[in-house]
Amino acid sequence: MIEDIIAEQTFWDVALGAGRILLSLVLVIVISQIAIKIVEASINKVFRKKGLMFQKTEETRLNTLRTIVTSALRYLILFIAGVMILEQLGLETGSLIAAAGLGGLAIGFGAQNLVRDIVTGFFILLEDHYDIGDFVTVSGISGIVEEMGIRVTRVRDFGGQLHIIPNGQIAQVTNHMGAAMRVMFDVDIAYEVDVDRAIAVLDDLFTKLEELNPEMAANIVEGPRVLGVDALASSGVTLKIWARAATMTQWTVTRDLRKLIKQAFDREGIEIPYPRRYLVFDKKTYQQTP
């Protein structure tokens, strides 16, 4: 009788212990899933509320950032839940965590370039260094950004070549997409030309740009104007022209302005200097012999 009572108590103790463990496992799993849902909802809410920080950012970039952050936090929660489950099962987790740390360290050393590319790409996306369609200079390459990812950036230069640049190699970025880009170039006139008259011709031309070239004038944000005499060169006087143009139109504006300036100088008889060579012959020395 006593043995039966002891056996029955032992059975209930084991059953109670097993039930406790099972309940703990279920609670860990449920709590981890709830935590994941809360994290995902919080991240989505943060990205929606901080939308003003990403005015230039495309939807694909926001999705990329949201996916990366959500995945990282999800894996962290699952790892913690897994460790808690192993502890409930009576397994030693200290050695497992140490092994995982060593394994991660080994993988980090083996794939350090890949890790560096991903980490750098994440901060490029997060800090909004440039956008798809921006004209940038990256790692000595200038061109239009066609694609930007978490590992590489693809830039197509004006020759048509596509450059694939690992994000980890991007040490400096120059983004040429300002609100208004500077237009600055030189115009030379001959020394025989009156400088004040040449500047007056240019000022008159610049006041008539809207009727001469309405499309170009619409792209000019400020100016153009003559800054003054910039240099006294060997063959002429150099005048500096300055203006500000809408983004990505500065090259067209520069070309059109140069064309109009050349036409105005031709009408007014203002000579643009060019290299010349004068040869002086001595008639006595070079006289033809009969």
CATH number at residue 61: 1.10.287.1260
Q: What is the DSSP letter of 208?
A: T
* 124 is a domain residue: no
Q: Quote the tokens at residue 199.
A: 């500047």
Q: What is the pLDDT of residues 233-243, one digit of tens each?
A: 888 899 999 99
Does residue 158 sit in the same domain as residue 184? no
Query: Is the residue at 118 inside a domain?
Result: no
Local structure of 179: helix, strand or coil? coil
**Residue 55 shares a structural domain with residue 135:** no
Same domain, 139 and 57: no
Q: Which domain holds residue 138?
A: 129-175
Q: Residue-wise pLDDT tens for the chain (290 aa)?
A: 444 444 555 655 656 666 676 777 777 777 878 877 887 777 677 666 655 444 444 565 666 666 667 766 777 777 777 777 777 666 666 666 666 665 565 555 556 777 787 778 878 877 778 888 888 999 888 999 888 777 888 899 988 899 999 988 888 888 888 778 889 999 999 998 999 999 999 999 999 998 888 999 899 998 899 999 999 988 889 999 999 998 888 899 999 999 999 999 999 999 888 777 777 776 655 555 55
Q: What is the total count of domains within the chain?
A: 3
Return d(Cα 38, Cα 77) in angstroms, integer.
11
Q: Give the Cβ contact number of residue 236 at 10 Å.
A: 19
Residue 115 lies in a domain: no
- Among residues 269, 261, 253, the alpha carbon closest in space to that of 205 is found at 261
